[in-house]
Amino acid sequence: MAETPQEAAFEQYKEIEKHALWVASELLERSPKLVDLEVSLIAAIFVAHRKRDPNMPPEQVAKIIQGHAEQLIPFFRNESN
């Protein structure tokens, strides 16, 4: 059980991440082409942002995605598996 708001937010993120990984696995079963998975997940991010803010320019969404990808590089660079 989370003791701080940050811990609670991280636990929520991990639950969402687990579901996203399941979705990715399901998509890979439907198409062996990795590009299909990549583009469909990125498109889903654009749609999610559009639902939250219909006026958000797609260029801003692209910058958000790129920023998140940059934050993940050190984690995946150091990941042992």
- Six-digit token string for 42: 């990125």
Number of helical (H) and strand (E) elements in the chain, helices listed first:
3, 0
Angle CA 61–65–66, to nearest 5: 115
**Sign for the pseudo-dihedral over CA of 14, 20, 23, 24:** negative
pLDDT band at 2 (very low <50, low <70, confident <90, very high): confident
For tokens 């079963």, name the residue.
Answer: 29
Instruction: Write down the domain spans for the chain.
Output: 1-30, 32-81
7-62 per-position pLDDT tens digit: 889 899 899 999 999 998 998 899 889 999 999 999 999 999 999 999 999 999 99
Instruction: Note the pLDDT of residue 60.
Output: 97
What is the pLDDT, as a whole number, of residue 80?
62
Q: What is the pLDDT of residue 43?
A: 95
Label residue 73 by pLDDT band (50, 70, 90).
Answer: very high
